[in-house]
Every structure is written in C-alpha cells, then in structure tokens.
Chains A and B, each alone.
Chain A
Amino acid sequence: MTETVQSKLTRKDFQSDQEVRWCPGCGDYVILAQVQKMMPELGIARENIAFVSGIGCSSRFPYYMNTYGFHTIHGRAPAIATGLKASRPDLQVWVVTGDGDALSIGGNHFIHVLRRNVDLKILLFNNRIYGLTKGQASPTSELGKKAKSTPYGTIDAPFNPMHLALGAGATFVARTSDADPVHMTEMLRRVAQHKGSAFLEILQNCVVFNDAAFESFTAKDMRASRQIYLEQGKPLVYAGGTKGLRLVDGHPEVLDLASGKAPGEPMIWNEQAEVSAAFALSTCAAPDFPEPVGVLRAVDAPVHHILQESQSDAVRKKLGAGNLAKLLTSGDTWTIS
C-alpha cells in the first residue's frame, strides 16, 4: 500500500530541477502544471510515485517530475510499467504517452495492459500528429490529413483512442483537453483514484505541427455548444440545456430540447453501465455530435497485481514457503556413497 505523507507537499515539491524544453505554447505545459498541482492532493510521498514514458514530445514528461522516473523507448512504456507495478505494487505508477507512442508502435502493449487491468495511470497526450519527428501523420490524424509524410493526404482511417481502450476492456476511460485545466484536474483526480488501468485521453494542442486541431470544440467560446460533459447520474445535455443526447438502438441521437418537441428524454449518464453506452458516446464527434469529455467508463474489476499476489499466496499456502534445499532434492534422486 502506498504510504501517505505527514508533511503537506506542494506543487513545487513535484517540480524537478530540469528546465522544461517543450515548444513555447505547447499544450504539454498545461498538462504538466495540472499534474504537478494535483499530485500533492493525493497524499502520496514523492518517492512512492514513478512516471514511465516512451518516446515522443509527451515522453519527456518524467524528467520534469521530481519523483522516480523512467524515460524508456518508443511504445514500450506500458510494458515496462507493467513489470514495475508487478514487482512493486506499493508504488503508484503513471504512464505518459502520445498518440504515436501508444497507438502506433506501442499499440500491442497498450491493449494488453488494459485487458490485464494493470494498475497504471495512463495519460495519452493526443495531438493527432508526430511532433518530435517533425510533423508526420499519426494514427489519430484525420483521414485525408496533409502532413509531411502525406502531402496528398493520409489514406489511413484514424483510431479513436476511447473506442480502442473500451474495446480492449479498459475499466476506466476518460477524456479531457488542455484547453480546460479545471476539468483536466478533475479527470486526473479520478484517474489517480481508480484501481486498475485508468486511461485518460488528453486532447493536446501541438502549436508547431498541428495547431488548433481541436479549437473548433475546445475553445472557451465553443465548449458549451460543441462538447458534452459526461457527469455521473446527470442527464446528457449541452448548449446551455437546449440540446441533449439519447441512445436509440444503441446509436446516439441529438435532442432539440429548446423546441419542446424532442421525441424523448436525454439519457442519464452512468459510467458503470453496459459498455455499449460508452462505445456509443465514444463515437460522438464534431460536427454532427458534441465531442464527449468526462468519464466514459469506470468499473471495478480484478486488478492484475492483486490477482498475482493472491495467486502467490495460494501457492505458498498449498506448498509451504519455498525451501531451496528441499526443492533441489525433490523428485527422483539417488545417492552414491
């Protein structure tokens, strides 16, 4: 179990001595600030926290956190973090990754960590572009995206990270954006509290290679009308209560609540409901639908390291504590005297 700290930590305690080197105006600064601000709330000692990352702009994150940190190789952070958590369940382990890192080169590890429900806090900075390699299409770039690697437009359909995570059996899936730090902090708290794999997609602006990718719905003056905030136990309404969402045969449908002639009631959001509702919401996208932010799914399920520990305990109970001398001489032996 993670120990709580007696003396109160502050945001500053989580800042390392390294100069932050992202491009000026990068959305990553906002994320770093919110994480550093939120961490003291958890009451976990710095030494019991580890940040693991892969490769990409987002993956420089651990260098800036004054905790234990491991900047690893492209796509492999979930696998390395799995080994870390499996051998050290007492640590709180965060994975910081990007759309290329998690969904392209690391796609296999991403889905397997979710299916195993390894107790990792996974932050995916999605800017829909490769930044560190200077502007190639990513697995979340929209179809037709013109980038350095695709001057005539990409012909590969994008992944929907929420959809993919749900499909892999994630027990916690949420979404937020770098344009809304207050909401992001709330989501980070939820991520920290979840037991099992917690996946947070953070829509993050790359000022250099894909500027304003999400502006049409994350900008302050657009949020109310183009985003829908998923809140537990509350109706799915947006645009100041003038619009709502319901599911018809599993498909989302926009309700015009202002007209008074809506054919039904907005859905009451339940993050523990059947996964099909979360799937349906994850497919909502501008311009026909509001973009979902908030917690799509949060359910309890057996956690990898707890299963593993109880299995080891059961084996110990059955076989007794390991005894090397006994093990070596087990089976058929013979003695020459």
Chain B
Amino acid sequence: MESVSTQPHHPAHKSHELSAVTIRFCGDSGDGMQFTGSEFTRVSALAGNDLQTLPDYPAEIRAPVGTLAGVSGFQVQFSSAPVFTPGDAPEVLVAMNPAALKSNLADLVRSGTLILNSGAFTKQNLDKAGYTSNPMEDGSLAAYRVHAIDISKLTATALADTGLSAREIARAKNMFALGLMLWMYSRPMEATVKFLEQKFAKMPDVAAGNVKALKAGYYFGETAEIFTETFVVRAAELPKGTYRSISGNEATALGLVATSELSGLKVFLGTYPITPASDILHELSKHRNFNVNTFQAEDEIAAVCASLGASFGGSLGVTSTSGPGVALMQETISLALTVELPMLVINVQRGGPSTGLPTKTEQADLLQAIFGRNGEAPLPVLAASGPADCFDAVLEAARVAIRHMTPVILLTDGFIANGQEPWKLPEAEQLAKFAPKFRTDPKDYHVYERDPKTLARAWVRPGTPGLEHRIGGLEKHKLTGNVSYDPDNHEEMVRTRAEKVARVADDIAPLSILGPKSGDVLVLGWGSTCGAIQQAVQQLQAKGHSISAVHLRHLNPLPKDLGEILARFKKVVIPELNLGQLQMLVRARYLVDAQGIHKIKGKPFRVSELKSALEGYLS
C-alpha cells in the first residue's frame, strides 16, 4: 500500500472487545516516542481505562540516529480491569526503524502484532542496527503479524502541500503512527487534535501539519485493507470519583503543594537537576502562587543546605534528587538529624553505583538511606509504591518530619517517577492537616527539652523574642544544647536520637495483608514493586496456593506488627530490584530466614517472572 485515498470509506472491519492490551512504541530518541506514548495514554485514560506506563529511554538526548543506543520506548498497558503494572510483554509493537525493532522484538509476545515503518528499513539503517538481511523480507518475523507500512512516505505525501520543511514533515511521522493506533483501538481523535493545536499554538503550520499526519494515520487504518479488525477496550470499573492521569514526579510535586497547605508552612524546595528527579522541580516551580518556593542551587550540597537553612527559619525544607545526589547530601542530612530539624529528602532512585543508569530504575539505595551517614545517624525512611501513591507518601513523610523533628528520606524510583496511572483525586478538604506548633514561650526554655511522647524537641522560629539560641553539629548537652564533650552525655544523646526515630513506629497503622493472615509463603515488598507483586500473588492465590503479600511504606523504623506477621508464615520471600537490601535488614532484625528474588537490569519486575520465581517456594 503506497498511496491511499484521503476520503474515508467504510470497509467492514470486525471490532473485537479486549480486556487489556499492552502496546510499546519505539523509535529513535528524536522520533517523539515518549510524546506519542504519553498522548495515547492520555486518550486511553480519558476513555476510562485503568492503565500504567513504562517510559524507557536512553540517557543520551540524541544518540546517533538509527543506532541501537538511541532507541527510545514507551510501553502502556490499558485495561477494562484493574491494572497493576505496565504489562509484562507488549502484544503490539510499533517500531519506527530497524534499531527499534532489533532492541525490542524479543519482548513482543509470540504472534503479537508488529507495525513497522518500512520506509526506515533502508540499507543504511539496517547496517546501523546490525542486520545483515532485511527482517521484513528474510522470514525472521514469521511468528508475528507484521504490518509493514511506509509511514515516512505516507506522512510526506499527506503533508506535501503544507509548506512544512522536509525536517518538520519527518518529525510528524509519529503522529501518523499515533493516528493509526487510535483507529485500531477505536479511540476518538478530538482530544489529540485539541492538544496538538494547543501545544503548537505559536506555530499554526506545525499544528496543522501534525493534525493532518494524525488524521492521515487514522484514515489509513480505516481505509487500507491490510487491517481486518479493530479493538475495543472498555472503560474500567474503577471506584467512583474524579480521576486524572499522573506520573510519580508530578504526584510528588503536588504532594509538596498539599504539604504547604496542610501544614501551614512554606515549602522550600532546594534542589539540583538530576535524572530522573528533575521533573519534581519543573512541576513545583510552576506553582509559586502557593506558599512554595523553589531554588535551583549550585550543587546538591548547596541544595540540601539551603533546604536545611529554610527549615531552621521555620519553613519545611525539601530536596529532590537521585542516589548520586544523596551521596553528596549525607553530611548535611546528618547535621539536620543532630540539630533535630524537620526536612524532607526525596530520592528518585536510579541504577547505580556512581553515574550508573541515569534513566533506568533500581531499588538499590535503601541501605544508603538507612545507614549511609557517619556515626549513629538514624532517620525515618519511607517509600512510595506507585505513581499516584507518591502524593500520599509525600504527605506521610512530611507529617513524620514535622511531628518528630527529624529529616526523613522518601524513596521513589525512575519507574514510578516517570510512569503514569489514573489517580483518583482526593477531596482537598478531607486531607488531614498537620500544622506544627512553634514554641513561643520563653519561660524555662531549653533547646533540647523533649516532648515526653515523641522525644521531639520544640521548633522555634528565629524572630521569636526571648528564645534566641544556638544549634550546631557538635555534640550538645542533652537539655541546654550547649556544646558538650561529656562521654555519658554523648551516649545518652545517641540513644535518645535512636529512640526518637524508633518511636515513629508508634504512629504506623497496622499492616494490611493481601490474602490469608498465615500460610506457606509471605511475599514482602517495598516501593515500586507493589503492583507486580500484588498481581503475581493474586494469580498464585487463584491457583489455590497458600501465599500472601505485605507491602511496606515504612522502611525505618519498620512497623511494629511486622515481626509477628513474618512468624505466621513458613517462608518469607522478598523481591527487590537490588541484591537483597530489605532482605538483609529483615534477616538481621527478625532472625528470619528470608529469601530474596533479585533483579538488577534497570527494569521493573514482570509479573510472569515474579510468578515463576515465587512458584519455586510453593510446594
């Protein structure tokens, strides 16, 4: 099919209903695959599907065109039933060039649908991707349903009379692909047309060209007789409410805005750009009409220092970073915990060590968060379990920081930071407030006098008359806060700081258990693995296995009821995207022979791989 009529006619396409579909868009990093995937996701969300996404892109902004290094992908699972993951393996792969095909084909399910931009399968591109023969012709794709379409040429033909440059036309081919997929999944185009017109409002020619490419793709599907069927994925039966699609980083930023509203404090974000955390700054800096302030510092050390300075001034200091940034910040975090000021450190984890895999996900900073400072330096550590959950996790972390006068580390990761899912919006009025009570009474004030229940010291804002005081990183007297080198005082302060953090557990709600309260296997998880674990465990439960799951929000201190729950199961299995960090903690703390499932590939767990690994522990 090299030319099509732009007049739609109505061939009889059979429409099939599906409950869930996983699509992956892939191409060069300059092909706009993230944009295409996000827009398909947005339309699916508006259509009421439950969904999750997995953007997967290289650290290089524009790797050499056509190479394997430059391939960027975006996967989305959308469904009429609850979705827990972005899908194990795509059923549909849209590959814009040979390199994209080569690096993604192995993930496509057998007999899956392949949509190839045949125009990009030139000798040169095939060579760059390392193909010695053209896979479209050599039979190597026989196991799949291949639709080879010259998207490059069809887009160029459709846009020939628009006056756009060859380069602009080439860049519009992703919209052709999007239009085709919208048609295939029976989606309307209106929302996307509106979006393109807004996005390119200042360049109406480009807007019109992209809309034209989108429609050309859509009508191509409708008209060309190579597709015999379309699909419908109905709206999911989600709980009643108003929803929006949200990524973890966006939810984190909105959580910070909500924190300022609920605590009555100014939220001061001191931060330094780092992948994959920068979007938190991008989002929060838009909302300066709230009581929030953002500060792009000269480095991570200055970022966290400025945050601590803000907390000293009576604001809530926050910093957002990734593992390498935390490594630079630890000295200041240590200072924050010894001067006992609230502060929130958000670590959007990525693959490590060192620069590692900036754009890929990992959970290997847990021990860094809990132990990575000099001296006995405990602080609360929390983790978010999904994109939307980042909002709640921020509120909980901020609440703990303020109530217990301590820095708190919140762990998210690249997977949930960039991944999207529908978020059932909370009612703003119903969110619990957590305003601090600043001390203003100068009578009998002692800087390190503690609340008998939480052991937190009082927070005093500079500017309060009669309460002038000095704090610092040197060990201080247990009551007055004056510098003290007394050995007994030091031991008491070390123990008191530890006890203060331990008492955070007093407020942790009882853990909820997915499945029976006792049995053969307990799967214990934390962070972004929540969805995959939940789905794997539910599938095994459906097969009649005795298996349950618990997911942790609080990693330090651990919830008080965790020990007795672990004891009720014959085996404890801990899947993590690291070499067993929570596993090490649980073994040490509870003397339980916990087993681990480890993956360190920069990618989240697939449900299928977790399921088969867990089956090994079931008799």
Contact = CB atoms under 8 A, between A and B. Distances in A.
A86 B463 contact: no
A240 interface: no
A72 B462 contact: no
Contacts of B315: 87-88
Contacts of A88: 313-315, 461-463
A316 interface: yes
A90 to B, nearest CB: 6
Interface stretch (B65-73, B301-309, B407-415): B301-309
B288 A63 contact: no
Contacts of A66: 468
A62 to B, nearest CB: 5
A133 interface: no
A83 B305 contact: yes
Given A71-B471, A83-B270, A83-B295, A334 B242 contact: yes
Q: Which of B299, B426, B427, B428 has the most CB of A within 10 A?
A: B428
A83 B312 CA distance: 9
A336 interface: yes
A91 interface: yes
A333 B301 contact: no
Interface string A320-337: 111011011101111111
A62 B466 CA distance: 17
Contacts of B302: 76, 79, 82, 108-109, 112
A128 to B, nearest CB: 25
B244 A86 contact: no
B556 interface: no
B428 A328 contact: yes
Interface in B437-469: 461-469
A46 interface: yes
A334 B266 CA distance: 31
A45 interface: yes
A125 B300 CA distance: 26
A83 B48 contact: no
A68 interface: yes
Interface in A274-303: none
Contacts of A18: 470, 482-483
Given A50-B462, A83-B270, A322-B261, A336 B243 contact: yes
A45 to B, nearest CB: 7
Nearest to B305: A79
A67 B313 CA distance: 13
B209 to A, nearest CB: 24
A324 B257 contact: yes
Interface stretch (A30-38, A227-235, A245-253, A307-315): A307-315
B238 interface: yes
A73 B462 CA distance: 20
Given A79-B301, A83-B268, A336-B241, A315 B289 contact: yes
Given A62-B472, A83-B313, A87-B268, A328 B462 contact: no
A207 interface: no
A67 B309 CA distance: 16
Contacts of A52: 309
A287 to B, nearest CB: 37
B482 A45 contact: no
Given A79-B305, A84-B312, A48 B335 contact: no
A76 B305 contact: yes
B242 A329 contact: yes
Given A47-B467, A337-B240, A312 B293 contact: yes
Contact of A336 (B48, B245, B305): B48
Given A18-B482, A87-B314, A334-B243, A320 B469 contact: no
Given A62-B472, A315-B289, A83 B317 contact: yes
Contact of A72 (B245, B268, B291, B335): B335
A6 to B, nearest CB: 12
A266 B530 CA distance: 77
Q: Which of A83, A308, A329, A332 has the most CB of B within 10 A?
A: A83
B425 A47 contact: no
A332 B287 CA distance: 18
Given A79-B306, A88-B313, A332 B244 contact: yes
Interface in B301-350: 301-302, 305-315, 317, 331-332, 335, 339
B305 A327 contact: no
Interface string B281-301: 000000111110101011101
Q: Which of A50, A65, A66 has the most CB of B within 10 A?
A: A50
B446 to A, nearest CB: 13
Interface in B261-284: 261, 266, 268, 270
Nearest to B469: A68
Contacts of B270: 83
Given A72-B473, A88-B314, A336-B48, A322 B289 contact: yes
Contact of A329 (B237, B305, B425): B425
Q: Which of A16, A76, A308, A318 has the most CB of B within 10 A?
A: A76
Contact of B463 (A91, A327, A329, A333): A91
A91 B461 CA distance: 11
B309 A81 contact: yes
A332 B46 contact: yes
A86 B474 CA distance: 25
A109 B328 CA distance: 14
A71 B476 CA distance: 12
B463 A71 contact: no
B321 to A, nearest CB: 15
Contact of A324 (B241, B261, B295, B471): B261
A144 interface: no
A38 to B, nearest CB: 18
Contact of B243 (A47, A71, A91, A335): A335
Interface string A44-58: 011110101000000
Contact of B306 (A47, A80, A324, A331): A80
Interface of A: 16, 18, 45-48, 50, 52, 62-63, 65-73, 76, 79-88, 90-91, 108-109, 112, 308, 311-312, 315-316, 318-322, 324-325, 327-329, 331-337
Given A73-B335, A332-B191, 6 more contacts: A69-B472, A87-B315, A109-B298, A320-B289, A336-B235, A336-B239
20 contacts: A47-B463, A47-B465, A50-B312, A62-B470, A62-B472, A68-B469, A69-B468, A73-B335, A79-B302, A79-B309, A83-B309, A87-B314, A88-B314, A88-B462, A91-B462, A312-B293, A322-B261, A328-B426, A335-B241, A336-B241
Top-5 shortest CB links A-B: A83-B309, A71-B472, A83-B306, A322-B290, A79-B305
